[in-house]
Amino acid sequence: MQEPPEAPVEAAPAAEAAAPEPAFSAPQGEGSPDPALFAPQGEGSPDPALFAHALRLAEALVFASDRPIAPQRLQQALPPGVDARAVLTALAAQCADRPVQLVEVAGGFAFRTAPELAPALTRVVEVPRRLPRAAMETLAIIAYHQPVTRAEVEEIRGASLSQTTLESLLEMGLIGPRGRKEVPGRPSLWGTTPKFLEQFGLRALTDLPRREELVNEPGSGLLAPVEAAAPPP
């Protein structure tokens, strides 16, 4: 007797293509983002472990420094092939939800308290003493009219400028000499310093606030002349 033909054997289904691996690994835990999340991606990108080390270096340097850290300064401490600007951008993103955040100020980066926490902290943290009105007015004039001579400050302000006021601004590092004006007598010219930008939380002179924010008492005769002046380039 002839045996019935065997049923055709069906080919095994083709193996499913392996799912592509995610570009970034998952966070390592709440409050501790994986440094790989912030590492630049693409050809020529640094190793994630190297980038994580660079983030730690940047955070330590900014924390230990007494002035804002410029990218050029940070670059000297980083491993070869790691870009300082990319590291600072990643660190700022990493600190975005922290009580202390990384902000760009005075041409560099520094840690600052989160703005929403400032009102609560002022109850327990001693607020620095404000400058006298004469010093604030002088500083405002120099900021908006620099470089400016002492006589020009007195003319704009409508009052004499005491040597004590000028010296106090110099001692605080808020102003500094900017050469001499090429007129008879060659009087000294004055301008603001990086310390001034840091003190007022400015990235550059183009970010100068409205004139009222630099003067203690609104309504001063100083306001109109300062408003008319164009911000420095």
Residue range 1-31, pLDDT digits in tens: 455 555 554 544 444 444 444 333 333 334 4
Q: What is the DSSP string of 135-161?
A: HHHHHHHHHHH-SEEHHHHHHHHTS--
**Average pLDDT score over the chain:** 74
Residue 109: pLDDT above 80?
yes
Confidence category of residue 218, pLDDT binned at 50, 70, 90: very low
Task: Quote the pLDDT of residue 147.
Answer: 92
So what's the pLDDT on residue 41? Answer: 53
pLDDT confidence of 197, banded at 50, 70, 90?
confident
Average pLDDT, stretch 191-196? Answer: 90
Give 150's pLDDT tier (boundaries 50, 70, 90). Answer: very high
Average pLDDT over residues 200-225: 60
Q: Is 103:64 a contact under the CB 8 Å cutoff?
A: no
The DSSP secondary structure of 50-94, one letter per residue, reads HHHHHHHHHHHHHHH-SSPBPHHHHHTTSPTT--HHHHHHHHHHH
**Of 12 and 167, more confident:** 167
Predicted pLDDT of residue 81 = 84
Average pLDDT over residues 108-123: 80
pLDDT of residue 148: 93
Q: Higher model confidence: residue 91 or residue 12?
A: 91
Q: How confident is the model at residue 177 (pLDDT cuts 50, 70, 90)?
A: very high
- Residue 77 confidence (pLDDT) above 60: yes
Under the banding of pLDDT at 50, 70 and 90, the label for residue 190 is: very high
Report the alpha-carbon distance of residue 111 to residue 67 in Å, rounded: 10
Q: Which residue has the higher pLDDT, 119 or 86?
A: 86
Closest alpha carbon to 220 in 152, 159, 145, 129: 159
